[in-house]
Structure formats: C-alpha cells, structure tokens
Amino acid sequence: MTGVEPPAVSGVEPFDAVDVIRAKRDGGAVREPALRWMVDAYTRGYVTDPQMAAFAMAVLLNGMQRDEIRVMTDAMIASGERMSFAGLGKPTADKHSTGGVGDKITLPLAPLVAVFGVAVPQLSGRGLGHTGGTLDKLESIPGWRAALSNDELFAQLRDVGAVICAAGSGLAPADKKLYALRDVTGTVEAIPLIASSIMSKKIAEGTDSLVLDVKFGSGAFMRDIDRARELARTMVALGTDSGVKTTALLTDMNTPLGLAIGNANEVRESVEVLSGGGPADVVELTVALAREMLTMAGQPDADVEKALADGRAMDVWRRMIRAQDGDPDAVLPVPRETHVVTASAAGVIARMDALPFGVAAWRLGAGRARAQDPVVHAAGIDLHVKPGDTVAAGQPVFTLSADDPARFARALEAIEGAWEIGDEAPEPTAIVRERITA
C-alpha cells in the first residue's frame, strides 16, 4: 500500500484502470499509488463510468482493507477543496445521520448545541427515495435559502453559532460523481464506499469533531445491526486517522422517529421540541446527540435539557432561520387534501414498520424519485399513535396529506400490512443501542 507514483510520460497515464479492477476483482488490495490515481483519473474523466462501475462492484463483493479505505477517502478529499474553521475562535462539532423515516433531529440539534458556544457547521443534503432530506424540510419555511457562500457560512457561525446549508460543489467532487454512479449500478450498499463517501465530505469540511448517527432497522440504510456496527466502526476509524475526533451512536430505525413524516410537518415537530415539548423519542435522541457533541467539544456537563426548556435553543433557531432569509413566524405549507386512517378494532398498536411509512410519504409527494424532482412540502404523514399506545375502534391512527388526492391509493398500498393492532404492547426498546469510539 506504499510507494511513489510513477511519473506520467507526456500524456501517458501511469496506471491502467483494467489492472486496478482486476486486482480488486481477484480479492487483492490495490496499492496506494494506483488507488489514488484511479480516483483522480475518474474525477477528470479518463477512467470511464463503466470501468468505475466494475471497480465499485468488485469492492461490493470483496471489500477493502482499512488502509485501502483510508487511501480512497483521502483521494476523494484531495479531489476538491478543504475548509478550516481555525479562525472562528471556538470549537466546531458536526453530526451526520445515515438517514431514516421522520429523522428531523438536525433541526433542533444544531441550535441546541450552539447555545453552549460550540459552532455547528451542518452541511446537509436533499432526500432521495424514502429518506427525507434536511434541506427539503427547511425549504418549507418561506424565504429560507440553502445556498450560502463560504463568507456567509463563516459569518453566520461567528454571529449565530449554527448553520444548516448545502455543501458547496468544491467539497469532494469525486464523491459526487461516484455516488451518482453507485446509485444506478447496485453498489450503494458497499460499506467501504459508503464510509469513504460520508467521511470524505465531513473531513474536507474541517470540523474539529464529528458524531455519527448510524441507524439500523427496517427504515434505515443498514437493516442489520451488525452491518450498521461495521459501517460505524469503519467511519470512526477514518475520522480518527484523519485527526477528527469521531464517535458513533447506533440508533433504532425500525419505527418512524417522532409523529411527523414529511417536510413542513417535520419542521413543526422540530419547533415543538425547541419549545420544550415534542415526541419523547425525538427529544431523547436530540438530547443524546447533543450531549455527545458537547462532550467531544469539551463540555461534558452542559445542561441540554434546560436549554430546551428555557427557550435558549429556540432563540438560536430563530436567529439561524432569519440569517438565511427565512421567516420563523411564517405559516408553513398546509395540504390541500387529507385522508384519515382509523383503527378497525380496539387494542394496542403492536407494530409500525418504518420503511413502508417512508415509502408512503414519498408517494404522497414528500420525497423524490430523481435528484431533479421537486418535493411537495405539505405532503406527508402524521401519526396519532405509536407502538405501545392503546386505541379504540374508529380512533384515528394516522393522517395522509397530499395536494393531489389521486396519490392516496398508492400510499395506502405501501402501508398495507405495515402496522397492526394486537392485545399486548410490544417490549420497549432503547433508541440508542451502542456508542462506538476509536
């Protein structure tokens, strides 16, 4: 995995993509100079999409050694710019979630952590498929804009302490190109490629510390907890090797998080949390992640619950939204049509599988099938009960919202069989299952 890259001779490339593909296809490790060249040559268009697709499939099937993943990540970082927050005069902490159904935690979390003088540069993305995007949620707020220049980002971190915005195109452009290819070639699930994709952007971002929310379960990217653990350990190692203090929490995504699934309704729920209320599971995970971020930033004794209860986190939220031209007092979009699903019998909600509810919200218009598709900010699902709650016959269980009532039929198809009423409550499970460190 070491060595000096041989010099190119007047336009002649130092390596051959086919040799790199064969090495990984046959289960071997790709030497560092060849792997760095492969990423660079793909970024500049010399290595073709079919060649990189073959390499990605070989990685999916045969994996990568820890040092290979480190080199791959570093090469992706080197494809673009690196940011630094050293001039801010205060520590920085960031959080990344691998995505789920109803996962709006970033919205209350960023202002909550900023209350304690820790800057939160939260560079976020948009949703694709059943997992919602943080930027899509915030764009429900009239006037709010996701695109900030680097100068605006730094100024907001100094003045407000928290930023949630789109990542600039200069961060890890190799990842952007490779992710789009993986998405259409059945190689998204390769743990080395997931890890290098996430961590290349987070390391290039320049944060001092990073907390990873790695989800497992029916509504998560990794359904199996063992694979989620492997991914978490891989990413923690990458961050640590790059000098970023990194920890991970394994969290349960078998049931939707909170009561709101969508965009505008998830913003409303986040504001409830910032007002000292909100669903217990959303509050629990927000507090757990805030404590982890603040501990990493040197403030293990910060009273995060008090900051939610006394309005300080809400004050930062309002300033953060205004700084990005949003109106925190504006009326959020409301749906034109709703459809209420009621309980057919009395009993206890025994199960609500996250994935089908995420797919249903997507079909209602809350998500997108292609990156260029718009989302309907008012579309989504509001749950009235969760597993363990008792219901009477005819009691509302959840409400579907859409602008086009023709969407209800396919959404209901997705949810069919995904929830049930029983005689006994399910055993309660912890949201945070494990903490993984270096």
3-state secondary structure of 178: helix
Q: Whole-angstrom Cα distance, residue 293 to residue 291?
A: 6
**Assigned CATH for 337-422:** 3.90.1170.30
Q: Whole-angstrom Cα distance, residue 421 to residue 347?
A: 6
Give me the pLDDT at residue 9, please: 43
- Active-site residue, 130 included: no
| pLDDT at position 125 over 90 | no
Q: Do domains 86-168+179-330 and 337-422 have the same CATH topology?
A: no
The catalytic residue among 79, 97, 140, 197 is 197
- Active-site residue, 242 included: no
Estimate the crossing angle of helix 408-415 against helix 354-361, to 10 degrees: 170
The catalytic residue among 96, 202, 339, 368 is 96
Are residues 6 and 41 in contact, defined by beta-carbon separation less than 8 angstroms? no
- Tokens 């930062």 — which residue? 316
Tell me: the pLDDT tens digits for 259-287? 999 999 999 999 999 999 999 999 999 99
Tell me: the pLDDT tens digits for 174-206? 988 998 888 788 888 899 999 999 999 999 999
Tell me: the pLDDT tens digits for 137-176? 999 999 999 999 999 999 999 999 999 999 877 888 998 8
- What are the residue ranges spanned by the domains of the chain? 86-168+179-330, 337-422
Tell me: the pLDDT tens digits for 380-432? 999 999 999 999 999 999 999 999 999 999 999 999 999 999 999 999 899 99
Strand order from edge to edge, sheet including 396-402: 260-262, 380-383, 396-402, 337-342
DSSP-assigned beta bridge partners for residue 95: 211
Q: Whole-angstrom Cα distance, residue 358 to residue 223?
A: 14
Widest Cα–Cα separation across the chain = 78
Are residues 220 and 228 in contact, defined by beta-carbon separation less than 8 angstroms? yes
68 CB neighbour count, 10 Å cutoff: 20
Residues in the chain, overall count = 438
Burial class (CB in 10 A: 0-12, 13-18, 19+), 345: exposed
The catalytic residue among 175, 208, 281, 353 is 175
Q: Whole-angstrom Cα distance, residue 373 to residue 367?
A: 9
Per-residue DSSP letters for 309-349? HTSHHHHHHHHHHHHTT--TTSPPP--SEEEEEE-SSSEEE
The catalytic residue among 182, 363, 368, 407 is 182
- Active-site residue, 70 included: no
Report the percentage of the chain scoring pLDDT > 90: 84
Q: Which CATH architecture has domain 86-168+179-330?
A: 3-Layer(aba) Sandwich (3.40)
- Active-site residue, 208 included: no
Q: Whole-angstrom Cα distance, residue 402 to residue 386?
A: 22
Output phi, psi for 234, to 5 deg. -65, -45
- Active-site residue, 96 included: yes
- Tokens 């990156």 — which residue? 371
| pLDDT at position 5 over 50 | no
The candidate with the shortest Cα–Cα distance to 128, out of 227, 221, 234, is 221
